[in-house]
């Protein structure tokens, strides 16, 4: 079909007025790859150069072309710091089951380091196609939001520790409510001196659980004794150290909220070493409700956070992101077993 002169003129004018990356590069006095790095959020550009490129993008009126819908490759990346914890296995189990249900394979990346630098695995993810990324990291300090946005695929953070930017899609649990429920349960049994072993003090979920503990004490009209607050690390050794410090007090607590199931296991270990028994000498409540709770003796009373369901929703959201929510928070609940009882009267 022949193009009418007026139509040909408009088409030619559009092509002539289209701003290219090369034109932006000339305006900013940089190379085309440098402009591409700025557009894609790469780190390897100095602040002054980045500012010049951004000014050039603005002054030239550059508009990035909309990308066509990427072709599905049948892979979802699951990135996690470690697998040597029960809660990590629960998350992996949920992610694998949902990926299988949706006909997708799960690609596992384990960083093997609680202080891991994300550059290597971020580069690996950027170098090959993926349909989505589910990230479980030990700390937000090591995963800047700007770096996450360089992943050219849908991604969701399973927000175990809290603190991500509000525009980063995350799935978490009601940590404050869990800390409140754990402490309220112990108060209802008659305990008045209740210790707590927290996680790291720079981790939001740890602070939320501690705040819930304090709120339950205040609501019951009980004092918040800071000598009964001990910092742990969410691992068994942290629970053991915290229990030792609490039990060495002149007036030790009759119950403890351990902050995690692994820390509760550490409390059990310290109790056994002292010839003490749970719950006769100390009632214990954990947090997570992993499989280990049923195998501990006595079976552990704990706060259930739906770890497998969190992973299921994360995989579902990256594969079917029709209406993705930026923040999903799943409810926690108290699971009463055998590790809590009314306090024994002291002689």
Looking only at the bridges linking them, the beta strands covering 133-136 and 170-173 are: unpaired
The helix or strand, by DSSP H or E, that contains position 285, with its residue range, turns out to be strand 283-288
pLDDT attached to residue 17? 57
347 residues of the chain, pLDDT tens digit each: 444 444 444 443 444 457 888 888 888 898 887 887 777 666 667 888 888 888 888 888 887 665 555 678 899 999 888 888 888 899 999 999 999 999 999 999 887 755 455 566 777 777 778 898 898 865 554 455 546 666 778 888 887 555 555 667 888 899 999 999 999 999 999 999 999 999 988 888 899 999 999 999 999 999 999 999 999 999 999 999 999 999 999 999 999 999 999 999 999 999 999 999 999 999 999 999 998 899 999 999 999 999 999 999 999 988 886 655 677 889 999 999 999 999 986 53
Tokens of 227: 């000598």
In angstroms and rounded to an integer, the radius of gyration of the C-alpha atoms of the chain is 26
DSSP class of residue 115?
T
pLDDT attached to residue 347? 37
Decide if 340 contacts 187 (C-beta within 8 A): no
Torsion of CA 334, 197, 266, 340, to 10 degrees: -40
In degrees, rounded to 5, the angle at the alpha carbon of residue 63 between the alpha carbons of residues 60 and 67 is 155
pLDDT attached to residue 167? 64
Per residue in 78-109, pLDDT (tens digit) is 988 888 888 889 999 999 999 999 999 999 98
Question: Residues for the chain: how many in total?
Answer: 347
* End-to-end CA, the chain: 102
pLDDT attached to residue 175? 94
The helix or strand, by DSSP H or E, that contains position 77, with its residue range, turns out to be strand 75-80
C-alpha 133, offset from chain centre = 13
Cis, bond preceding 298 (omega within 30 deg of 0): yes
pLDDT attached to residue 12? 39
Looking only at the bridges linking them, the beta strands covering 333-335 and 301-304 are: antiparallel
In degrees, rounded to 5, the angle at the alpha carbon of residue 178 between the alpha carbons of residues 176 and 181 is 110
Per residue in 233-244, pLDDT (tens digit) is 999 999 999 999
DSSP symbols for 166-217? TTS-EEEE-HHHHHHHHHHHHHHTT--SEEEEE--TT-HHHHHHHHHHHHHH
Distance from C-alpha of 54 to C-alpha of 40, rounded to nearest angstrom: 12
Q: Which domains does the chain carry?
A: 17-53 (1.10.260.40), 75-173+308-330 (3.40.50.2300), 175-306 (3.40.50.2300)
Distance from C-alpha of 184 to C-alpha of 64, rounded to nearest angstrom: 55
Decide if 328 contacts 171 (C-beta within 8 A): yes
Decide if 318 contacts 133 (C-beta within 8 A): yes
Tokens of 269: 């270990």
In degrees, rounded to 5, the angle at the alpha carbon of residue 91 between the alpha carbons of residues 90 and 96 is 100
Per residue in 122-134, pLDDT (tens digit) is 777 777 788 988 9
């Amino acid at each position: 079909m022949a193009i009418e002169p007026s139509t040909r003129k408009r088409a030619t004018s559009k092509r002539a007025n289209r701003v290219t990356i090369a034109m932006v590069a000339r305006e900013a006095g940089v190379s085309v790859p440098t402009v591409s790095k700025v557009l894609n959020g790469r780190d390897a550009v100095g602040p002054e150069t980045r500012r010049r490129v951004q000014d050039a993008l603005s002054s030239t009126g550059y508009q990035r072309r909309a990308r066509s819908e990427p072709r599905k490759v049948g892979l979802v990346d699951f990135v996690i710091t470690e697998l040597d914890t029960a809660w990590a296995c629960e998350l992996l189990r949920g992610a694998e089951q949902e990926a299988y249900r949706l006909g997708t394979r799960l690609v596992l990346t384990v960083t093997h380091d609680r202080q891991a630098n994300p550059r290597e695995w971020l580069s690996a993810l950027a170098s090959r196609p993926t349909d989505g990324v589910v990230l479980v990291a030990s700390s937000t300090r090591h995963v800047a939001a700007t770096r996450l946005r360089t992943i050219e695929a849908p991604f969701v953070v399973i927000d175990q520790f809290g603190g991500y930017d509000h525009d980063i899609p995350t799935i978490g649990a009601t940590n404050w409510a869990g800390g409140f429920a754990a402490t309220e349960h112990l108060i209802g049994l008659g305990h008045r001196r209740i210790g707590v072993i927290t996680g790291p003090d720079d981790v939001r979920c740890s602070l939320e659980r501690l705040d819930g503990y304090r709120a339950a004490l205040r609501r019951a009209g009980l004092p918040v004794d800071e000598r009964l607050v001990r910092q742990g690390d969410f691992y068994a050794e942290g629970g053991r150290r915290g229990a030792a410090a609490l039990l060495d007090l002149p007036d030790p607590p009759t119950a403890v909220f351990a902050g995690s199931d692994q820390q509760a296991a550490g409390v059990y270990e310290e109790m056994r070493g002292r010839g003490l028994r749970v719950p006769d000498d100390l009632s214990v409540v954990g947090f997570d409700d992993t499989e280990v709770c049923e195998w501990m003796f006595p079976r552990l009373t704990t706060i259930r956070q739906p770890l497998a369901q969190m992973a299921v929703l994360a995989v579902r959201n990256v594969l079917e992101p029709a209406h993705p929510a930026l923040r999903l928070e799943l409810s926690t609940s108290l699971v009463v077993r055998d590790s809590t009882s009314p306090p024994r009267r002291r002689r």
